[in-house]
Amino acid sequence: MQEAAIVILNYNGKKMLERFLPSVLSNSIFPIIVADNASTDDSIEFLKSHYPQIQHLHLAENTGFAGGYNKALGQLKGAYEYYILLNSDVEVTKGWDRGLIEFLKRNTQVASVQPKITSAQFVGLFDYAGAGGGFLDELGYPYCRGRIFDSIENDLGQYDDNIEVDWSSGACMAIRASDFHDHGGFDDRFFAHMEEIDLCWRIRSSGRKIYYLGSVEVRHLGGGTLARNSTKKTMLNFRNSLLMLHKNLPKSKFLRVYVTRLILDLLAMLVFVVKGKIGDVNAVLKAQIGFFSLKNIDYRHSMASNLPSGSNKNIKSILWHYYVKGKKQFTML
């Protein structure tokens, strides 16, 4: 069994590969594998002609981030001790991959770790996806050190520490192959968005830990597949958040949380109406319908539990802190 592999899931990402793959090649020591999610552009032809040394995995259909990685890592099962999942739109720094893997080797109780993730587009700012470490409030809303909703902090070294977190970002996460496979991988139903948060919740419910490593930095562009203002992204985030809560909370706890979430979703729809974002209104409706159509496909984890948190803040509602109390940064919570 080999030590580790960097696995990049690609879907119509030739431009991203052109821009960011040279950084990964020049700054990494582990082999790079590109898993192609049935792209319709000339990504594979580009890789074959420019980077013949890179292994390709060809997937027959586009099953999203969740299904694509499940299929790709299923093909690699037994070949590597660790996987590093990396978005195609990420610029890495020297020694980044070795730093993540060495941290996992030193800390056997840790299943997954993410680096500090800053913006490739806005230099000096944290990135939306993962930033300085990700957490969940008691209603299942994710937030990060360095990014709460749309408020992004400057990276001033304030999160250069190593801490336990609730989830590691799918933009760049190192994970033990055994933990990934033993916990069932990603939930295919999610397609994209929040599948890594769900997996990390299941992992933590079994007593394993998730960490953030501030001494390693990567820079993420974001929006390479779905723009942040995409109504499809809105639908996926709302729907998948409910799916995650349904499968990971005890039934009685979920029902109480769902009532609150339904009220908040209705308020969100009202805000979208006021802002003239009718597409987002429809997206929230589709999310609710999609949740009820998918939740009956039984995937409830046998170790469903109250939401465990790596944060010592135990935030009940990040929405309340952010919109009512005006706390826009993690240090204000």
Instruction: Kindly state the helix (H) or strand (E) to which residue 232 belongs, with its residue range.
Output: helix 231-248
pTM metric for this prediction: 0.93
DSSP state letters, 255-298: HHHHHHHHHHHHHHHHHHHHTT-HHHHHHHHHHHHHHHHHTTS-
pLDDT in tens, 174-208: 999 999 999 999 999 999 999 999 999 999 999 99
pLDDT for residue 60 is more than 80: yes
Residues whose CB is less than 8 angstroms from the CB of residue 209 and which lie 6 or more positions away in sequence, other chains included: 107, 109, 110, 111, 164, 310
pLDDT in tens, 131-154: 999 999 999 999 999 999 999 999
- Contact present, 162 and 215 (Cβ < 8 Å): yes
pLDDT for residue 80 is more than 90: yes
CA–CA dist 76, 72 (Å, integer): 7
CA–CA dist 254, 256 (Å, integer): 5
Average pLDDT along the chain:
92
CA–CA dist 61, 39 (Å, integer): 8
- Contact present, 209 and 163 (Cβ < 8 Å): no
Residue 296: pLDDT band with limits 50, 70, 90: low
CA–CA dist 88, 218 (Å, integer): 12
Measured CA to CA in angstroms, residue 46 lies from 50, 62, 128, 153, 169 at distances of 6, 19, 29, 36, 28
Residue 298 is predicted with a pLDDT of 53
pLDDT for residue 91 is more than 90: yes
CA–CA dist 78, 202 (Å, integer): 22
* Paired strand residues for 114: 212
Residue 300: pLDDT band with limits 50, 70, 90: very low
Residue 166 is predicted with a pLDDT of 96
CA–CA dist 133, 220 (Å, integer): 14
CA–CA dist 135, 220 (Å, integer): 19
Residue 102: pLDDT band with limits 50, 70, 90: very high
